[in-house]
Chain A
Amino acid sequence: MASPPRRISEDDDYDGETPLERIRPFGTLHRKQIAFVPASGDGHLNSTDTAISSGKAPRQDVADIYLSMVLPEDVKPRSTQNTTSAGTSKDAAPPSVCEVCKLPMTPLAPEDTSQAPEGVPKPATPHETSLAHQLCLPHSHPPSALDRSRMGLTYLSTYGWDPDARKGLGFKQQGIQYPVKTKVKDDKLGIGMEVPKNLPPKKKETMLDAKKVRKMAEEEKRRAARIRQQLFQRDDLEKYLGPGAA
């Protein structure tokens, strides 16, 4: 194919070279073009054959280059989030890391002190009371909901599986704990398309024409008559004159 690929959507203007009938859009579907975007960065598949591939050097992470300049040599690049964020206090005091929750034990965070009223005594060990620390403390889990009388459970327990230990099967009991979830897809929505959960039912905007207005007026009239009847009807009169007599 010698001719360059044409983009119908982009050049709506007649460029004077291609015959008109070629540009004209046709059909229904192929008129709606999708503006594909190329993959970013190294998203493309590179050839694995060295002869074909362009032989680009592996891209060095910008962050790594930066860190190698800034940090002393013995520090590994991108060590942790903590060192960079708390980098200022790094030289001042060695950050003591909590044994339990593996978080650095800092004194109270500045905003906490500012919010604390003057009179209230500071908690003795503020770190131990923090939510992160509390959650990391060893604690018991609620027992598994599996029926203990099941034959399968008995069998697995005799080989050392504990239903309450929150562990899977396998050599190191590293397996998944719960079965893979089943999810039925009964629509044609593409990946990443999200439907808001409680979408308000679409109200159709209706244009009123004379006919509809007349109809509405009639409806109104009938309703008024019905209400009137219900309020002012007289049983004795109706007996003689039939329903609908006021």
Chain B
Amino acid sequence: MATKRSIVEGDSGSQDLKRVKMGKGGDAKDDKFNPYLAHHYEDDNSNGNGNGFSSPLDKLERHKTTAAQASKCEDSDLNPWTGQPHSQRYFGILKTRRDLPVQKQRQEFLDMYHSTQILVFVGETGSGKTTQIPQYVLYDELPHLNGKLIACTQPRRVAAMSVAQRVADELDVKLGEEVGYSIRFENKTGPKTMLKYMTDGQLLRESMHDHDMSRYGCIILDEAHERTLATDILMALLKQIAARRKDLKIIVMSATLDAQKFQTYFYNAPLLAVPGRTYPVEIFYTPEPERDYVEAAVRTVLQIHATEPEGDILLFLTGEEEIEDACRRISLEVDDMIRESDAGPMKVYPLYGTLPPAQQQRIFDKAPEALRKGGRPGRKCIVSTNIAETSLTIDGIVYVVDPGFSKQKIYNPRSRVESLLVSPISKASAQQRAGRAGRTRPGKCFRLYTEKAFKKELIEQTYPEILRSNLANTVLELKKLGVEDLVHFDLMDPPAPETMMRALEELNYLACLDDDGELTKMGSLASEFPLDPALAVMLISSPEFYCSNEILSITSLLSVPQIWVRPNNARKRADEMKMQFAHSDGDHLTLLNAYHAFKGAEQNGQDVKQWCHEHFLSFRHLSSADNVRAQLKRIMETHDIELMSTSFQDKDYYTNIRRALVSGFFMQVAMRESSNSKVYKTVKDDQLVMIHPSTVVQSPYDWVVYNEFVLTTKQYVRTVTNIRPEWLLEIAPIYYDVDTFEKGEIKSALTRITEKIRRRQAMKGGR
């Protein structure tokens, strides 16, 4: 112990200095906590906390702490939360933490936090807000005294996980104990947890069972400027809860963009701003609009490489295909430049969501060295979707190339199609992108449009997700949360009435809401599942078709990214392998076959990773499907939903599954336009679609049920399974009430089938 202490003191000399400085900067009233007099009141109330060790925290009083007190706790040799001695690594991290911009305003933050219930906090990227503010709150809320947790929400799962890990390291505790995280299908918290990072969707789900969020003493909504669907709903809920629960504190954290909007929304809550660490960025525009933005982007990257000093390049494009194409073109041209004019080397890395993590990691590699000593320096160029805009920070970027487009989700309630479309970005988004160039030193941003276009054509803010999404799931959650008045529900940006109406109607058809809009038993049960209502309903009704085990597997497989791997250099081979699992009646059934084969290989004790690689399946996604399945199974068991299978030998094995699919997805059905035609028409919405080329279905059938609608240059339906129209009339008679259909082929086809069924029944009755 003694040696440990001396080591710690030896390398924390600078901290002592800091501590003194903090003391000066802090309040005058904390002279009682002069670190040099600490021994005087060491034993004041050493038995205060229940942890059985004396902790510097015992002297703190909830909601009356100061920055100096907290710093002192952080500096002590023993971890105030666990009683264990601090590791050496801890002090190393502490030192870097003290350099973060937020640290300077810790006292200011605490003063403001004490004075108000709701606080808007603005900190740019790099200010340290996501990791530090929750810890500042922790030292002030002292959760061990009243057992109320602190929650910090994140829009993305990865962020919740990685930030929780980082903060656990910073507090010198084990992840999952004092600090934990909770995301969909994964919960890493324990009875000791005081600070919990979670996705915003997860907090929303939790609140369905705890309308007052009574487990929490403070809720921090981070990255609120991203305006995700769940964050928007949470803000409206918290506004209501704050009125009921005066002891609940709320912090809304945002990047600078529209902080004032948050302030006004939360009854003019006080605002605290912390500057980030950004350098100025020079912005350039093209003199003329560009005819081809991809080509212009490639040219700009090469131009930077040829003419600008050292520094890495970040280029924003819209999608996988475009990015891979641009990467290839840039690499080829750079090779040419090196050969012809002695340019420096350049590494080009793609970056998009579906890229395997190992390859995503490569963007953090160092830029290549100059080819020879004294030669022109190398650089790296990252070609990314807009994940590099907010969620990911890459140091070393000095040049940003911004063509002004991104893929955005958009929902059209009239055709009921949710699609990812290439759209112009907003001004706020463009500024955010430009800001990426100024992280390490002054940078430059090249916009591939004119300044006039920037001012005139780009909208101010990106539309919040709530205006661009299908709200069926949200409405179900709100209903479960007891929100009845969907008209006056105080959202920051209320959605269009038509979108809301569609959501209500969809839930009505799924029998989750009755005709008066009241939550039914089915609806209440469906909301227990962290799934889209259609999937949840399918899962709940699957025992009626004697195949709940199989539907459970299919549901899990549909809840993870595509399990099929199709590398560019082995497409044909991958397709052949997929055909091994193919069931000619449907992609859903093919998914199921692949899953069963995967489980079989696992049971045979094969090297599953190798097996997946050989069969062009994603091991990562299959195992996460397996995990999802286990979670969903647990929910099914708690709600007494029977798990059963038809015997595999039974001729109805697959038919039952196909019928069960209809029970959830009867609103996603398409009928073939005419026999031998490749074009299908979606039921009720009358959209002309084709079956996505990735399908294995050989289609003797005229009717298919589909999992998703893909709108690219053509309209596709993906993951389809053949069905019989009789099933539609039988399983979803209300939706398929022929009288409600508009005149057309689908109506006449349905009438014919109704007629046929009637005749058959009459014959049976006659006998």
Contacts and interface: CB of A to CB of B under 8 A. Distances in A.
Q: Do A and B bind each other?
A: yes
Interface of A: 1, 5-8, 21-24, 26-30, 32-40, 43-50, 52-53, 146, 150-156, 158-161, 163, 168-171, 173-180, 182-186, 188-194
16 contacts: A1-B310, A5-B308, A21-B340, A29-B295, A30-B306, A34-B296, A36-B285, A37-B287, A39-B285, A40-B451, A48-B275, A168-B494, A178-B498, A179-B499, A191-B448, A192-B450
B102 to A, nearest CB: 13
A66 to B, nearest CB: 23
Q: 3 tightest A-B contacts by CB? A: A152-B501, A175-B494, A192-B453
Nearest to B455: A43
Given A5-B308, A30-B306, A168-B494, A159 B341 contact: no
Contacts of B516: 155
Interface stretch (B74-82, B134-142, B502-510, B615-623): B502-510
Contacts of A40: 451
B649 interface: no
Given A29-B298, A36-B446, A191-B289, A153 B501 contact: yes
Nearest to B332: A27
Contacts of A160: 487-488
Contacts of B487: 156, 159-161, 169-170, 173
A246 B196 CA distance: 100
A241 to B, nearest CB: 49
* Majority SS at the chain A contact face: loop
Most buried by B among A30, A47, A160, A184: A30
B297 to A, nearest CB: 9
Most buried by B among A45, A153, A186: A45
B452 A163 contact: no
Contacts of A44: 280-283
B450 A179 contact: no
A191 B424 contact: yes
A39 B283 contact: yes
Contacts of B41: none
Interface stretch (B186-194, B403-411, B692-700, B759-767): B403-411
B206 interface: no
A183 B452 contact: no
Contacts of B498: 146, 178-179
Interface stretch (B152-160, B245-253, B355-363, B431-439): B431-439
Given A156-B501, A191-B405, A48 B293 contact: no
Given A155-B504, A183-B421, A191-B404, A8 B307 contact: yes
B306 A48 contact: no
A191 B283 contact: no
A43 B451 contact: yes
Given A26-B337, A34-B296, A192-B456, 5 more contacts: A6-B306, A37-B451, A39-B282, A152-B501, A192-B453
A110 B342 CA distance: 73
Nearest to B438: A45
B413 interface: yes
Interface residues of B, number: 104
Contact of A192 (B289, B435, B711): B289
Interface string B272-297: 00011111111111110111111110
A163 B283 contact: no
Contact of B423 (A26, A46, A178, A185): A185
Contact of B449 (A49, A156, A178, A190): A190
B410 A180 contact: yes
A186 B423 CA distance: 10
B284 to A, nearest CB: 4
B284 A38 contact: yes
Contacts of B309: 1, 5
A152 B509 CA distance: 11
B271 interface: no
Interface string B502-531: 111100100000011100000000000000
